[in-house]
A and B are shown apart, each in its own frame.
Chain A
Amino acid sequence: MMAQTQLQTDQAPVLEIRNLIQTFGGLTAVNEFNVKLMPGELSGLIGPNGAGKTTIFNLVSGFYQPSEGQILIDGVPTAGLKPHRVTALGVARTFQNIRLWNDMTVLDNIRVAQHYQLGYGFFHALARSKRYQQREAEIAREAAELLEVFDLQRFAAELPKNLPYGTQRKLEIARALSSHPKLLLLDEPAAGLNSADIQELIRLIRWIHEKFDVTIWMIEHHMDVMMELCTQIKVIDFGQTIAEGNPETVRNHPAVITAYLGDDNI
């Protein structure tokens, strides 16, 4: 968990998407999307509203089944897998509108995210078997550690709904990390934050990226966040990839400017 991130080019990609197509009725939300994320990468996905960014995240996390194409996590195809199975493969995410379990304590929020790897079942829970006690102790310790490094331990017994908005965002990221992901999907983590919070968020994401051995893929509308953090950015519009490259290239790409500002030539 604490290992230093290393970029190893000869490794298999953490996430590989091949020719992904998603249609809703007659609408093509995602068209021929391809991406390869190498371990330790921190890259971004941007595009105007309704471009299909969150749809791609939903597809990766298994919430939708793709109409066509393949998604591979660490080389394992996710077709037909339920979201919790995808999480078990090492994908965790946050949501555009915070989705914490609001009537469970902060600590429990962190703990439940380990649900897929509890290592004990119903009857162990009833019998309070050795395995149960051992695992619960481990989970509790790990959750406490996680809260500690996120500086959330003083909220451990609070309910998330009583926390300030920025802290809720932070908690959601902590919950995602609690499931030991290889790939962390952040869906607009800066939405609704003020500029001071955003500066803190940038530090937080960079710190997570360094401290946890995790590949990060994020959607964000705040360009300064993306410019600061990402090494690679993909731009999509109407489900179509229109540009990709490092932040500088993307920023000056004519197609991107057209997509965001409209076409002057009409």
Chain B
Amino acid sequence: MLESIIQNIINALQWGSFYALIALGYTLVYGVLTLINFAHGDVFMVGAYIAFFVSTFFLSALALPGWVALALCIPLTMILTAMVGVTLERIAYRPLRKKGAHRLYVVITALMCGLILEHANLAILGASRKAFPPLIEVHVYNIGGVTFTNLKVAVIITAILVFLFLHWVVTKTRVGMAMRAISYDKFAVPLMGIPLDQIIVVTFVLGSGFAGLAGLLFAMSYPVLDPYMGALIGWKAFIAAVVGGIGDIRGAFLGGFLLGAVEIMVVAFFPSTFRDLIAFSVLLMILTWKPTGLFGIAKTTKI
């Protein structure tokens, strides 16, 4: 009994880590721009594919040992995915923003960008799924009936480290201060001499970079890639971010882990087809109870 509880907690933490890593990209961009970057789930998918190509290249073309390939793969995937995110911002979102378009037109553009990423991938690489090459040897540990792998532990630790890093960036650094300032007042910030566009680019770099990292880890954990893998997980991560209180780093992580826990729990007790149904219902109930999410601050209307 106890083992199965611990086992489920570990599974939930690992599954939630992916949601958390993606949710943070949503939350960062939302916090700064109040833009729901619906392409983010697909940026995650692109990250996984970039990781696939980079690691295949290192393993087969250069015949590097797995751990060297992984060590090179992590920064390279993050950088390349970050470039994808920044490209979207530069060519699609920023021009629209500068034209003073309604916020929701930027959201629709983001949706379209997501569709393009998905289907361009499908069109270019074909419908066949890609098998991700094993980079490290997966060890299975069994302590008192609880099984876990080194990969699972690595995923959880990475998510926590990323959280601590981003929390530090947002609360302690000058860039983070500027990001928070923008979220309060987009118009006053340039007047204070803060380069708005650069801060926005940094936000996209951080968000997309960690989506790339999530893509790599996801591909290592579930080594089958397909172009639609980012869509559903992206929607869910976004909902997780909102349940946590969108715009808040802590909220994104808590929301991600919460969603992971709910889903693992549902699968433990119900047929797995009930997973989405129950998970979404629980999230809906949380939002009904706390309409602005767990960490969200209710905006008071002043009259």
Residues of A whose CB lies within 8 Å of any CB of B are: 54, 58, 63, 95-97, 99
Question: Could you tell me the distance between the alpha carbons of A242 and B303 in the complex, rounded to whole angstroms?
Answer: 24
Instruction: Spell out B's residues near A (CB within 8 Å).
Output: 303
Q: How far is the CB of A73 from chain B (nearest CB, A)?
A: 19
Cα A96 to Cα B303 with chains together (Å) = 7
Shortest CB–CB separation between residue A50 and chain B, in angstroms? 12
By DSSP majority rule, is chain A's interface helix, strand, loop, or mixed? loop
Question: A191 → chain B, closest Cβ, in Å?
Answer: 13
Residue ID in chain A nearest B301 by CB atoms: A63
- State in angstroms the CA–CA spacing of A12 and B303 once bound together: 30
A63 to B303 Cα, complex, angstroms: 10
Give complex CA distance A96, B301 in Å: 13
- Chain B residues near A54 (CB-CB < 8 A): 303
In angstroms, Cα B303 to Cα A185, docked, is: 13
User: Chain A residues with Cβ under 8 A from B303's Cβ?
Assistant: 54, 58, 63, 95-97, 99
Query: With contacts defined as CB atoms under 8 Å apart, how many contacts are there between chain A and chain B in the complex?
Result: 7
Q: How far is the CA of A99 from the CA of B303 in the complex (A)?
A: 9
Complex: chain A residue closest to B300, CB-CB: A24
**CA separation between A193 and B303, bound complex, in Å?**
19
- Distance between B289 CB and nearest chain A CB, rounded to angstroms: 20
A7 to chain B, nearest CB (A): 31
- Of all A-B residue pairs in the complex, the 3 with the closest CB atoms, nearest first, are A95-B303, A58-B303, A63-B303
Nearest CB of chain B from residue A218's CB, rounded to whole Å: 16
Which of chain B's residues has its CB closest to A24's CB? B300
Cα separation A97 to B303 with both chains bound (whole Å): 7
Q: How far is the CA of A180 from the CA of B303 in the complex (A)?
A: 22
CB-CB under 8 A from A99, the residues of chain B are 303
Residues of B within 8 A of A96 (CB): 303
Considering the complex, give the chain B residue whose CB is closest to the CB of A58. B303
Q: Which residues of B contact A97 (CB under 8 A)?
A: 303
Complex Cα distance A99/B302, Å?
11
- Kindly report which residue of chain B lies nearest to residue A54, judged by CB atoms: B303
Q: With both chains docked as a complex, state the minimum distance between the C-beta of A184 and any C-beta of chain B, in angstroms.
A: 16
7 contacts between A and B (CB under 8 A): A54-B303, A58-B303, A63-B303, A95-B303, A96-B303, A97-B303, A99-B303
**Chain B residue with minimal CB distance to A95?**
B303
Closest residue of chain A to B303, judged by CB? A95
Contacts of A63 in B (CB 8 A): 303
| Cα A97 to Cα B302 with chains together (Å) | 10
Please report the C-alpha to C-alpha distance between residue A204 and residue B112 in the assembled complex, in whole angstroms: 54
Q: State the Cβ distance, A125 to closest chain B Cβ, in Å.
A: 27
**B42 → chain A, closest Cβ, in Å?**
34
Closest chain B residue to A61 by CB distance? B303
Q: How far is the CA of A115 from the CA of B77 in the complex (A)?
A: 58
Chain A min CB distance to B254 (Å): 24
Closest to A93 in B: B303
Q: Which residues of B contact A95 (CB under 8 A)?
A: 303
With CB as the reference atom, state the residue of chain B lying closest to A97. Answer: B303
Q: How far is the CB of A27 from chain B (nearest CB, A)?
A: 13
**Distance in angstroms between the alpha carbons of A133 and B173 in the assembled complex:** 64
How long is the Cα–Cα vector from A220 to B70 in the complex, in angstroms? 69
In the docked arrangement, what's the CA distance between A58 and B300, Å? 13
Distance between Cα atoms of A63 and B302 in the complex (Å): 11
User: Closest Cβ of chain B: how far from A65's Cβ, in Å?
Assistant: 15
**CA A58 – CA B301 in complex, angstroms?**
11
Measured between C-beta atoms, what is the minimum distance from A176 to chain B in Å?
14
Task: Please name the residue on chain B nearest to A96 by beta carbon.
Answer: B303
A57 to B303, CA, bound (A): 10
CA distance A99 to B301 in the complex (A): 12
CA distance A54 to B302 in the complex (A): 10
Assembly CA distance A54 to B303 (angstroms): 8
- Taken together as a complex, chains A and B put the C-alpha atoms of A63 and B301 apart, in Å, by 10
Complex formed: what's the CA distance from A262 to B303 in Å?
A: 27
State the CA gap A48–B146 with chains docked (Å).
Answer: 66
Nearest CB on B from A181, distance (A): 17
**Nearest CB of A to B102, in Å:** 12
